[in-house]
């Protein structure tokens, strides 16, 4: 479900006693639960008593007993619950029994990460779906929606952003709304009293708290400065989370190079910008590396980046070695043989 569809659903004011909100984006999920909580309180006309629990730490029995008990002060209560999908199959009957006759003064909001097809086959999920529970499986924002979101966040603070700066910000930070939100706050602080964010500001803030940025790494790669590229790669990928972001950034940039390489023989810069979805400003900067790197090198590099991504998620010890080989492959002289298999 799109986040906009979720908000539209709440406007119908057809509320339930139980909800399941899932999304791979933590920031999006938290935004949804906050909006839902506010909508419920507006409908009730009173503030609620809110409680947050995790089924890894609090027994289900205790949560259901609390939900079944109305407050002595007559207040409504909202209980946010993590970990429901991890419940053992046998605990489903307890929840099913409560859902057959929920307390009208209590609302349970179950929170989960991205739901796999395996998760949706579990008894606990089927019990929720077949009950009064409203299920909101929120999709991450796509790149176009992400740009609109950034623009709206800045407009609330009376600030605008140049097109090139916006594209660079999205490309660098990816689709993690939480990280993007932190970057926006840094940019707002960095721009001080200025009312427009430019590309230089975005690139400067990307290096906040570190000596170099991913743009320095890209320059070293495209200039075939192998020694500097290896040094920057080591500096920027110490943290696995940072390495994931670097991998995502490099993957996107190399896919763009591949597209430029294939389209440049039949299209001009303006046509390519419309086809690929970027600005002419960025594509012009990528024309030279797109010409220098062979299609085989780009495809192999993208395959290696996919292996690195998998390795990071599986805590593999080989990701740093693969990253070094990737750098060497991209910075090799045109007549050298590949080093990445």
User: pLDDT (tens digit, 0 to 9) for every residue of the chain, 341 residues total?
Assistant: 888 888 888 888 889 999 999 998 888 899 999 999 999 999 988 888 888 999 888 888 899 998 988 765 557 899 999 998 888 777 778 888 888 899 989 999 999 988 888 989 888 899 898 888 899 999 888 888 889 999 999 998 899 999 888 988 887 777 778 878 888 888 887 777 778 998 888 877 765 545 677 888 888 898 889 888 898 888 888 777 778 888 888 898 898 899 988 888 888 888 887 787 766 767 788 888 888 888 899 999 999 999 998 888 787 768 888 888 889 889 886 644 444 44
Sequence spans of domains, the chain: 3-137, 141-206, 210-341
Q: Per CATH, which fold does 141-206 belong to? A: Helicase, Ruva Protein; domain 3 (1.10.8)
Residue 341: its pLDDT value, please? 44
Query: Residue 103: helix, strand or coil by DSSP?
Result: coil
Architecture of domain 3-137: 3-Layer(aba) Sandwich (3.40)
Residue among 147, 181, 138 at smallest CA distance from 166: 147
Q: How far apart are CA 7 and CA 148, in angstroms?
A: 16
Contacts of 71 (CB under 8 A, 6+ apart): 49, 77, 105
Provide φ and ψ at 93, rounded to 5°. -65, -35
For residues 212, 218, 222, 225, the Cα torsion angle rounded to the nearest 10 degrees is 30
Element (H, E) at 311: helix 295-313
Pick the CATH number of 210-341 from 1.10.3720.10, 1.20.272.10, 2.30.31.10, 3.50.7.10: 1.20.272.10
Three-class secondary structure of residue 136 per DSSP: strand
- Asked if the domains 3-137 and 210-341 are classified in one and the same CATH topology, the answer is no
Q: How many angstroms separate the CA atoms of 80 and 91, rounded?
A: 18
pTM above 0.85, yes or no: no
């Amino acid at each position: 479900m799109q986040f906009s569809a979720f908000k539209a659903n709440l406007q119908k004011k057809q509320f339930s006693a139980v909800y399941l909100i899932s999304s791979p984006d933590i920031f999006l999920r938290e935004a949804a639960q906050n909006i839902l909580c506010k909508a419920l309180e507006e409908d009730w006309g009173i503030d609620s008593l809110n409680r947050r629990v995790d089924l890894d730490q609090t027994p289900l029995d205790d949560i259901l007993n609390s939900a079944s008990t109305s407050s002595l002060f007559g207040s409504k209560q909202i209980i946010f619950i993590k970990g429901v999908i991890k419940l053992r199959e046998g605990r489903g009957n307890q929840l099913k029994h409560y859902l057959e006759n929920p307390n009208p003064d209590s609302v349970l909001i179950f929170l989960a990460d991205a739901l796999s097809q395996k998760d949706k086959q579990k008894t606990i999920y089927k019990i929720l779906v077949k009950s009064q529970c409203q299920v909101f499986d929120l999709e991450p924002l796509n790149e176009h929606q992400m740009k609109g979101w950034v623009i709206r966040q800045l407009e609330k603070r009376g600030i605008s952003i140049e097109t090139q700066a916006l594209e660079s910000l999205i490309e660098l930070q990816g689709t993690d709304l939480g990280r993007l939100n932190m970057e926006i706050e840094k940019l707002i602080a960095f721009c001080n009293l200025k009312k427009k964010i430019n590309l230089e500001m975005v690139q400067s803030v990307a290096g906040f708290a570190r000596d170099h940025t991913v743009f320095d790494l890209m320059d070293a790669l495209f200039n075939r400065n192998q020694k500097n590229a290896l040094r920057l790669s080591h500096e920027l990928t110490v943290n696995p989370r940072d390495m994931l972001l670097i991998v995502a950034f490099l993957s996107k940039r190399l896919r763009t190079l591949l597209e430029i390489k294939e389209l440049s023989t039949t299209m001009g810069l303006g046509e390519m910008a419309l086809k690929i979805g970027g600005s002419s400003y960025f594509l012009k900067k990528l024309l030279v590396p797109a010409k220098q790197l062979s299609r085989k090198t780009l495809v192999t590099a993208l395959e290696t980046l996919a292996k690195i991504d998998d390795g990071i998620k599986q805590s593999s010890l080989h990701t740093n070695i693969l990253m070094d080989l990737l750098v060497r492959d991209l910075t090799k002289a045109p007549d050298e043989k590949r080093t990445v298999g």
